[in-house]
Structure 1
Amino acid sequence: MTLFSKIIAGEIPSYKLAENDQFFAFLDIFPLREGHTLVVPKMEVDDFFDMPEPYLSGMLAFARPIAKAIEKAFDCNRCGLSVVGLEVPHAHLHLVPIDSSDDLNFTRPKLKLSPERLKAAQEKILRYL
C-alpha cells in the first residue's frame, strides 16, 4: 500500500480538498508554494501514463475546478500543473499557484508550513470549490 493509498484510506491525516469515486485531492505538506495540491487516482498505479485512458482524461476534469479555486484563493498568475512521478510510486499530478515557470522547479527547497498555515490554505481553496 502506497503512502497516497494510506492518505486516501484515512490512515494518514491530510488536508483534503476534494474526492470522488476515482480521485482524491489534498494539500502537499511540503509545498513548493502555499496552496500546492496533489491529485491522485484511488487506483494504485506507479507510472502516470500507465493509468487507463478514462483515468487520464478524468483526472484533468477532476482537477479543473480545484485549479480554478487555487487561482482565486492565492495571488498568482495561474495554477501550474506538473507530473513528475519520482517522489511517491503512485501516479499523481501537482497543482501549484505560479507566477513563473521557476515556481514549478522541484529542485528548490520545499516550504515548511505550520499545521495552522496548511489548514488556512485548505480553507481558502475550499471557499472557492
Structure 2
Amino acid sequence: MASIFTQIINGELPGHFIWRDERAVAFMTIAPIKSGHCLVVPVEEVDHWDDMPEELAAHLMLVAQKVAKGLKSVYQPKRVGVMVAGLEVPHTHLHLLPIDAIGELDFSLQRPAEADELAAEAQKIRTSLLDLGFKEADCG
C-alpha cells in the first residue's frame, strides 16, 4: 500500500505544496511545531533516509536548502532547522522549520493545524520562493 505521503503526492489526499519537481516535493505538515514547518519528501518511496540513492539524497538536501531560503524570507528566523526522524511515516522526509532557539526542535510542541492556516502559510512561502526565482514553487 502506498504511504500517506505518496497518496498526497499523487493527489489522492489533500496537501499544501510549496515545491514540486520530478524527484521531490515539499508541503506543509498537518501537525506543525510552529508556522512554516514543512516537509521535503522524495517522490520515490524510500523508508529509511540512509537507503536513498546518493543522487536522490543530494537532491533532497538541495531542495531543502532552496526551501529554507523561502522560509528565511517569510519568517526571518535565526536559523532553519532540519530534522530527519522518520518514525511516523515509512517514507523518507526532512522536517524544515524556522527556529530562533534549539528548544523549538521539539515534536512535543506539535499541534494540529486548520487547512486554511496551512494554505495561507503555503501561499506565503510559495510567493517568496517564486520571488527568489524558483519556478518549482509554482505548484499551488
Give TM-score, length-normalised by structure 1. Answer: 0.94
Larger relative helix fraction? 2
Correspondence list, 1:1-129, <5 A: 1-106=2-107, 108-129=108-129
1:17-60: CA deviations, max 9, x gaps? 11111101100011011110101111111000100000111111
Counterpart-to-counterpart distance in 2, 1:54 and 1:94: 19
Q: CA RMSD in A?
A: 1.0
Question: How many residue pairs get matched?
Answer: 128
Provide the C-alpha distance between the structure 2 equivalents of 1:109 and 1:98, rounded to a whole number of angstroms.
13
Q: Give 5+ residue unaligned stretches, structure 2.
A: 130-140
What letter corresponds to residue 117 of structure 1 in structure 2? E
Structure 1: 5+ residue runs without aligned partners? none
Supply the distance in 2 between the matched residues of 1:119 and 1:39 (Cα, whole angstroms).
Answer: 17
Identity of aligned residues (%): 38
Q: For residues 91 and 29 of structure 2, what CA distance do their matches in structure 1 show?
A: 14
Stretches of 4+ moved more than 3 A in 1? none
Alignment TM-score, normalising by the size of structure 2: 0.87
In the TM superposition, residue 77 of structure 1 has moved relative to its aligned partner by 1.4
Cα distance in 1 between the residues matched to 2:113 and 2:11: 21
